[in-house]
Amino acid sequence: MSELTPDLVRHLASLARIQVTDAEVDRLTEQLAVIVDAVATINKAVEGDVPATSHPIPMANVFREDVVEPSLTQTEALSGAADSDQGRFRVAAILDEE
């Protein structure tokens, strides 16, 4: 059982600038004690030579190698365009610029 006391809860509440009633102090003392005990149980379970990890299983890169492959020529890419100009797609202006 944790050593959480109502006085400690009041002190923590004052540090956080939270006003608490006596009923809230009693309820928070019980609830925080449960949380502290749970954390202590977890800490006890991982004591020893258990390395810290970010994942429970080893991770491997799942991406394929970046290989250059043949692609469309500029003419082929522009062949389906509604309009093109100087090797570029030509679209209607969408901004009201002068």
Structure-block tokens of residue 88: 């570029």
One-letter amino acid for residue 3 of the chain:
E
pLDDT at position 58 is 81
Domain positions in the chain are 6-45
Distance CA 90, CA 86 (A): 9
Please state which CATH number belongs to domain 6-45.
1.10.20
> In this predicted structure, what is the pLDDT of residue 98?
60
Nearest to 29 by CA among 10, 15, 53: 10
**What's the pLDDT score for residue 56?**
80
- Residue 84 pairs in a beta bridge with 89
Q: What is the mean pLDDT for each group of 10 consecutive residues in the chain (98 residues)?
A: 86 95 95 93 79 79 87 92 91 76
User: What pLDDT is recorded for position 15?
Assistant: 96
The b-or-e profile of 1-13 (16+ CB within 10 A means b, else e) is: eeebeeeebbeee
Tokens of 24: 């809230």
